[in-house]
Amino acid sequence: MIVQVVVDVPTGGTDRLFDYKVPDHLQEIIESGMRVIVPFGPRKVQGFVISSTIETDIDKLKDIDEVLDVTPVLTPELLELGDWLTTSALCFKITAYQAMLPAALKAKYKKEVKLTHKECLSQLPFELRKWFEHRDVVLWEEFLGTDDKPLIALIKKAVTDGFLEVIYKVNDKVTKKMIKVVKPISYENLSMQLEELDKRAQKQKQVIEYFLKHPNQISVNALIELANTTRSTLKSLIDKGILSEEDVEVARDPYANRIFKKTVPLQLTTNQEAVIQPIYQSINEGRHQTFLIHGVTGSGKTEVYLQSIAKVLEEGKEAIVLVPEISLTPQMVQRFKERFGSLVAVLHSALSTGEKYDEWRKIHHGRVKVVVGARSAIFAPFKNIGIIIIDEEHEATYKQEENPRYHARDVAIKRANFYKCPLILGSATPSLETYARSKKGVYRLLEMLERVNDVKLPTVEVVDMREELKSGNRSMFSNALFEKLTQRLNRGEQSVLFLNRRGYSTFVMCRDCGYVAQCPHCDISLTYHQTSRSLKCHYCGHQEKMPQKCSSCDSEHIRFFGSGTQKVEEEIAKVLPGARVIRMDVDTTRKKGSHERLLTQFGEGKADILLGTQMIAKGLDFPNITLVGVLAADSMLHLPDFRASERTFQLLTQVSGRAGRHQLPGEVVIQTYTPEHYSIDFVRDHDFISFFEKEMGIRKLQSYPPYYFITVIQVSHPEITKVIEITDKITAFVRRSLSEKSIVLGPVACSIPRIKDRYRYQCMIKYKNEPTLVNILKEVIENYKREINQGNLQVSIDMNPFVLM
Distance CA 224, CA 234 (A): 9
Q: At what angle do helices 688-701 and 644-656 cross, to 10 degrees?
A: 170
- In the list 84, 255, 418, 515, the residue contacting Zn ion (rule: CB under 5 A) is 515
Q: Which residues pair with 504 in a beta bridge?
A: none
The Cα–Cα gap between 617 and 365 comes to 36
**Binding partner selected for residue 30 from ligand ATP, Zn ion, none, CB under the kind-specific 5 to 8 Å limit:** none
Q: Which is nearer to ligand ATP, 267 or 721 (CB)?
A: 267
Say which entry of Zn ion, ligand ATP, none residue 272 contacts (CB below 5 to 8 A, set by partner kind). Answer: ligand ATP
SS3 466: helix
- Confirm if 519 and 653 have CB atoms less than 8 A apart: no
The nearer residue to Zn ion, 555 or 702, going by C-beta atoms, is: 555
Q: What type of residue sits at position 398?
A: Y
To ligand ATP, the closest distance from the beta carbon of 534 in angstroms equals: 37
- Of 443-451, 481-489, 518-526, 709-717, the window that binds Zn ion (rule: CB under 5 A) is 518-526
Q: Which of residues 543-562 bind Zn ion (CB under 5 A)?
A: 550, 552-553, 555
Is 540 flagged in the annotation as binding? Answer: yes
Any binding-site annotation on 519?
yes
**Closer of 320 and 452 to ligand ATP (Cβ):** 452
Q: Which is nearer to ligand ATP, 354 or 619 (CB)?
A: 619
β-strand partners of 45? 38
515 binds, among ligand ATP, Zn ion, none (CB under 5 to 8 A by kind): Zn ion
Alpha helix stretches (DSSP H) within 214-266: 220-226, 231-239
Name the residues that contact ligand ATP, by CB under 6 A: 266-269, 272, 295, 297-303, 428, 452, 619, 621, 657, 661
Task: Residue 297: name its binding partner from Zn ion, ligand ATP, none (Cβ under 5 to 8 Å by kind).
Answer: ligand ATP
Return d(Cα 110, Cα 704) in angstroms, integer.
50
When the beta carbons of 116 and 552 are compared against Zn ion, the nearer one is: 552
The partner in contact with residue 500, picked from ligand ATP, Zn ion, none with C-beta cut-offs of 5 to 8 angstroms by kind, is none
Minimal distance in Å, beta carbon 555 to Zn ion? 4
Length of the chain: 805
Return the biggest CA–CA distance within the chain.
Answer: 90
Binder of residue 303, out of Zn ion, ligand ATP, none (CB less than 5 to 8 A by kind): ligand ATP
Query: For 166-177, what is the HEC assignment?
Result: EEEECCCCCCCE
The burial class, CB within 10 Å (0-12 / 13-18 / 19+), for 790 is: exposed
Write the DSSP string, 581-607.
Answer: EEEESTTTT-STTHHHHHHHHHHTT--
The CB-of-544 to Zn ion minimum distance in angstroms stands at 11
Sign of CA dihedral 435, 439, 442, 446: positive
- Smallest gap, in angstroms, from Cβ of residue 518 to Zn ion? 9
For position 521 contacting Zn ion by CB under 5 A, the verdict is yes
Among 539, 673, 678, 707, binds Zn ion (CB under 5 A): 539
Among Zn ion, ligand ATP, none, residue 521 binds (CB under 5-8 Å by kind): Zn ion
Nearest CA-CA partner of 36 in 60, 74, 9, 68: 68
* C-alpha span between 243 and 92 (Å, rounded): 57
To ligand ATP, the closest distance from the beta carbon of 620 in angstroms equals 8
The string of DSSP letters for 410-427 reads HHHHHHHHHHT-EEEEEE
53/548 Cα distance (integer angstroms): 70
Site stretch for Zn ion (CB under 5 A), options 82-90, 192-200, 241-249, 513-521: 513-521
Comparison of 339 and 375: residue with beta carbon closer to ligand ATP: 339
550 assigned ligand-binding residue: yes
If the CB atoms of residues 297 and 478 are measured against ligand ATP, the closer one turns out to be 297
- Minimal distance in Å, beta carbon 363 to ligand ATP? 24
Give dist(CA 559, CA 507) in Å, integer. Answer: 8
Q: Are 76 and 49 in contact (CB under 8 A)?
A: no
Least distance in Å: CB of 762 to Zn ion? 19
Contact 559, 509 (CB under 8 A): yes
Least Å distance, CB 496 to ligand ATP, is 13
| Residue 553 contact partner, candidates ligand ATP, Zn ion, none, CB within 5 to 8 A by sort of partner | Zn ion
Residue 428 interacts, among ligand ATP, Zn ion, none and using kind-specific CB cut-offs from 5 to 8 Å, with ligand ATP
Q: Of the two residues 302 and 403, which places its CB atom closer to ligand ATP in the complex? A: 302
Is residue 223 within 8 Å of residue 230, measured between CB atoms?
A: no
Q: Using CB under 5 A, which of 522, 609, 637, 734 touches Zn ion? A: 522
Helix and strand counts by DSSP (H, E) for the chain: 26, 33
| Smallest gap from residue 302 Cβ to ligand ATP (A) | 3
State the pairing for strand pair 35-40/66-67: antiparallel
User: How many CB atoms neighbour CB 52 within 10 A?
Assistant: 17
* 229 interface partner picked from Zn ion, ligand ATP, none, CB below 5 to 8 A per type: none
Answer with the entry of Zn ion, ligand ATP, none that 565 interacts with (C-beta below 5 to 8 A by kind).
none
Q: Quote the CA–CA distance of 34 and 50 in Å, as a whole number.
A: 8
| Residue 120 assigned ligand-binding role | no
Interaxial angle between packed helices 330-340 and 301-314, expressed in degrees from 0 to 180 and rounded to the nearest 10: 40
Pick the closer one to ligand ATP by CB: 17 or 268. 268
Going through 543-698 in order, the beta strands assigned E by DSSP cover: 543-545, 558-561, 581-584, 609-612, 625-630, 667-672
**Identity of the residue, 596 or 728, whose beta carbon is nearer to ligand ATP in the bound complex:** 596
By beta-carbon proximity to ligand ATP, the closer residue of 431 and 674 is: 431
Find out whether 491 and 622 touch, Cβ atoms under 8 Å: no
- Give the separation between CA 95 and CA 87, rounded to whole angstroms: 12
In terms of CB distance, is 177 or 542 closer to Zn ion?
542
State the binding partner of 519 from Zn ion, ligand ATP, none, CB within 5 to 8 A by kind. Answer: Zn ion
Nearest to 485 by CA among 683, 674, 673, 659: 659
Q: Least distance in Å: CB of 542 to Zn ion?
A: 4
What's the rounded Cα separation, in Å, for the pair 16 and 94?
A: 9
Q: By CB under 5 A, which span of 58-66, 141-149, 218-226, 505-513 interacts with Zn ion?
A: 505-513
Q: Which residues bind Zn ion (CB under 5 A)?
A: 510, 512-513, 515, 519, 521-522, 537, 539-540, 542, 550, 552-553, 555
Binding-site residue positions for Zn(2+):
510, 513, 519, 522, 537, 540, 550, 553
Sequence ranges of the binding site: 510, 513, 519, 522, 537, 540, 550, 553
